[in-house]
Amino acid sequence: DVKVTQSSRYLVKRTGEKVFLECVQDMDHENMFWYRQDPGLGLRLIYFSYDVKMKEKGDIPEGYSVSREKKERFSLILESASTNQTSMYLCASSFRGTPTDTQYFGPGTRLTVL
């Protein structure tokens, strides 16, 4: 079974803090993704990576950065957290080389910025 884990289920931070959200997958997937999920807006893609040290902006990259130093780990960084970044953050991964683009999701991190 594919396993995608996220470092925290719940996180509370203060405005201006630097926040790291970590995601690890154990299936040697090339592609990794970060989404945020907000009520009424569904999933919005922040950043994705299709290889180590490679990153691409998604639909809403502003205020975020990412790091992919190892294949299994994809980190989302909020350089200076703001209240409008309070959200559920979902990490996903997928294997390149199969006909489908099935993504496997972690359990999510609910971040609250005060």
Partner 1 sequence: GEDVEQSLFLSVREGDSSVINCTYTDSSSTYLYWYKQEPGAGLQLLTYIFSNMDMKQDQRLTVLLNKKDKHLSLRIADTQTGDSAIYFCAESIAGLMNYGGSQGNLIFGKGTKLSVKP
Please tell me whether residue 83 adopts helix, strand or coil conformation: helix
Residue 88 has, within 13 A of its CA and on its CB side, a CA count of 13
Q: Smallest distance, Å, CB 50 to partner 1?
A: 5
Residue at 88: amino acid letter? M
Residues that bind partner 1 (CB under 8 A): 4, 30-31, 40-43, 45, 48, 50-51, 56, 90, 92, 94, 96-97, 99-108
Q: Smallest distance, Å, CB 15 to partner 1?
A: 25
State the alpha helices, DSSP H only, in 55-100. none
CA–CA dist 50, 33 (Å, integer): 9
Nearer to partner 1, 45 or 77 (CB): 45
Nearer to partner 1, 40 or 84 (CB): 40
Q: Smallest distance, Å, CB 34 to partner 1?
A: 12
Nearer to partner 1, 17 or 56 (CB): 56
Nearer to partner 1, 24 or 108 (CB): 108
Q: Give the DSSP letter string of 53-71.
A: T--EE-S--TT-EEEEEET
Q: Smallest distance, Å, CB 33 to partner 1?
A: 8
CA–CA dist 76, 64 (Å, integer): 7
